[in-house]
Amino acid sequence: MAIALAPTLVRGKPERMSVDLPVIDLSVYLKSGGKEGGDTCEAIARSLQKNGIAIVRDPRLPENLPRRFASLMERYFAQPDALKAPDARPKIGYQVGWTPSFIERAKARPDVVAKLSEGHKPTPITTADPKERFFAAIGKKPPTTRFDWLNAEPVMPAAFPEWYDITGAWSTNMVCTVHTLLEMAARGFGERSDLFTSFLEYGPHLLAPTGSNLAKYGTPGTVLAGFHDDLNFLTAHTQSNYPGLRAWTREGESFFAKVPEGCILVQAGQQLEYVTGGAVLCGLHEVLAVEAAQEKIRTEIAQGRAPWRISSTLFATASSDERLCPVGKFATDEALATYPGILAGDQVARELEAIELVRN
């Protein structure tokens, strides 16, 4: 089934909606214990290769869990900054806890932007991102690591007794989906099923909900997160409560990605590009306030509610001490020359500095 992408407007101009993103159902693969569903494995691999994105439906995702998680995060972000400030950990690059607005700054990418055609250029932003974020650390701790600061203890906001249960359930579900999807992608590429997941065993995965205050930053065309790619292995999102995620295909065509209810959109990060030697490119994207959100923003404000755009994101990340390099069929001489080996922790540290989360 292909998604009908609803028209989304930025500054009143219709955006192109021609990208065909099939919704890939994981049911057959899961029910058969991986014995069937080879076509869906290939569809996932194809979608990641073509667009850096795949949209999947995972029958294991409980129906009301995305809403409960988003509601928790909406209440968290709506608190005054003074109540969120104790949750910030700037000394470790905000890698757990709260990141305030105007901290993370997307890297300038003049080389990439120059190659994009008019109508598909990213929206300029001269400041750091207005979005806020919370990083909830999940996953198994590595027995030993050279990167303690990337594997820090989680922050638990004291005012939310339900935090542990909801974020725990949410992270379990999202990690399961990512794990299955990467297993299927590897098989779809004709490789052994653990080719990608073996990188993730002790990864410092992060639940990374993003909050953008649309009462302040809701004017159409406002950039909430500047044009960037993700530094991790694979990013997963469920449907956001407001539209605004604009992504780019491998060919440099931009489109607004709409995630159908109950589905999960995954986007390749730098680490997946690395281990596939560029067969999968990390997906470029930005997040904007858009015209299509205005009516809902007005309604929320009129009813005395704060209109926060909540993105329920999970960053699945390679184990910090794992060496990233092209593997399996992707380990060609050319790929190995383009993507020389690097420890995932060193690659993450380099990127965190580039986006100003780590400041030396």
Closest separation between CB of residue 184 and Fe ion, Å?
23
Strands in 285-288's sheet, in edge-to-edge order, are 223-228, 285-288, 245-248, 254-256
Closest separation between CB of residue 225 and Fe ion, Å?
6
Q: Is there a contact between 246 and 9 (Cβ–Cβ < 8 Å)?
A: no
Closest separation between CB of residue 313 and Fe ion, Å?
8
Number of Cα atoms under 13 Å in the Cβ half of residue 81: 8
Locate 1 and state its tokens: 């089934």
With respect to Fe ion, which residue has the nearer C-beta, 197 or 232?
232
How far is residue 259's CA from residue 268's CA, in Å, rounded to a whole number?
16
Closest separation between CB of residue 120 and Fe ion, Å?
18
Query: What character string, x for contact with Fe ion (CB under 5 A) and - otherwise, covers 185-224?
Result: ----------------------------------------
With respect to Fe ion, which residue has the nearer C-beta, 241 or 270?
270
* Strand residues in 140-203 grouped as ranges (E): none
With respect to Fe ion, which residue has the nearer C-beta, 142 or 243?
243
Element (H, E) at 358: none
Stretch of 94-102, 108-116, 230-238, 302-310 contacting Fe ion, by CB under 5 A: 230-238
How far is residue 17's CA from residue 247's CA, in Å, rounded to a whole number?
11
Q: Is there a contact between 310 and 79 (Cβ–Cβ < 8 Å)?
A: no
Closest separation between CB of residue 106 and Fe ion, Å?
9
Q: How far is CA 72 from CA 46, 77, 119, 311, 348, in A?
A: 35, 9, 37, 12, 28
With respect to Fe ion, which residue has the nearer C-beta, 275 or 314?
314
Locate 77 and state its tokens: 């972000």
Residue 230 found at the interface with Fe ion (CB under 5 A):
yes
Number of Cα atoms under 13 Å in the Cβ half of residue 82: 0
Using DSSP, state whether 259 is helix, strand or coil: coil
Stretch of 76-84, 87-95, 149-157, 226-234 contacting Fe ion, by CB under 5 A: 226-234
How far is residue 108's CA from residue 345's CA, in Å, rounded to a whole number?
22
With respect to Fe ion, which residue has the nearer C-beta, 282 or 292?
282
Bridge partner list, 210: 133, 311
- Total residues belonging to the chain: 360
Rule CB under 5 A: which of 62-121 touch Fe ion? none
Stretch of 40-48, 196-204, 225-233, 329-337 contacting Fe ion, by CB under 5 A: 225-233
Closest separation between CB of residue 122 and Fe ion, Å?
13
Stretch of 14-22, 227-235, 247-255, 337-345 contacting Fe ion, by CB under 5 A: 227-235
Binders of Fe ion: how many residues, by CB under 5 A? 1
Closest separation between CB of residue 82 and Fe ion, Å?
27
Stretch of 24-32, 142-150, 160-168, 229-237 contacting Fe ion, by CB under 5 A: 229-237
With respect to Fe ion, which residue has the nearer C-beta, 195 or 290?
290
Closest separation between CB of residue 269 and Fe ion, Å?
8
Taking Cα atoms as reference points, which of 104, 99, 179, 162 lies closest to residue 133?
99
With respect to Fe ion, which residue has the nearer C-beta, 175 or 257?
257
With respect to Fe ion, which residue has the nearer C-beta, 19 or 355?
355
Residue 129 found at the interface with Fe ion (CB under 5 A):
no
Element (H, E) at 286: strand 285-288
How far is residue 46's CA from residue 24's CA, in Å, rounded to a whole number?
11
Closest separation between CB of residue 356 and Fe ion, Å?
15
With respect to Fe ion, which residue has the nearer C-beta, 45 or 284?
284
End-to-end CA distance of the chain: 48
Residue 322 found at the interface with Fe ion (CB under 5 A):
no
- Exposed (0-12), middle (13-18) or buried (19+): which is 50, by Cβ within 10 Å? middle
Closest separation between CB of residue 285 and Fe ion, Å?
6
With respect to Fe ion, which residue has the nearer C-beta, 247 or 324?
247
- Residues within the interface to Fe ion (CB under 5 A): 230
